[in-house]
Amino acid sequence: MLETKYTTTSEEETIELGSKFAKRLNPGDIVYLYGDLGSGKTEFIKGICEYFNVEDMVTSPTFTIMNKYIGEYRNQEIPIYHIDLYRIEQNKELNEIGFSECLYEENSIKLIEWAEKAEKQLNKPSFIVKIIPDEDKENIREIYISESEVVLN
């Protein structure tokens, strides 16, 4: 798995990196995002949604668990699902929010935070993004982006 490291020094740079990364995404892609609470995952996702011209305000779905946005991809609408599994304790909760249906929607992009909570139900990711804030310096983040073997083959 090829991994590339980036460093951002502000929320704006994290959003910008998300937007640049989004150029690599296609319908059907799944992105796992890892990082502690407040690490910048939603800021990164804001950049992805900005690239796809999402008009809605992008917010963390920590309490709603799943937000659906409509973006543009090659002059067509594309659903973008932002899923935060942090509060999920049992797999049956995933079924209650329509998680399975969203996973099999081929012409959408799925951005999944805390994917480790549902790995058995998930398809393999196209990309993995790990965000690690610097403990000593506010707003400095190391962001590692890996492309899955699924995409490389």
Give the residue extent of every domain in the chain.
2-152
Of 3.40.50.2300, 3.40.50.300, 3.40.190.10, 3.30.110.30, the CATH number of 2-152 is 3.40.50.300
Distance of CA 80 to the CA centre of its chain: 9
Phi, psi of 85, rounded to the nearest 5 degrees = -90, 10
Among candidates 50, 41, 54, which has minimal Cα distance to 8?
41
pLDDT tens per residue, range 50-83 = 999 999 989 887 777 889 999 999 999 999 999 9
pLDDT in tens, 100-117: 677 778 899 999 998 887
Residue 23 CB: number of other CB atoms within 10 A? Answer: 8
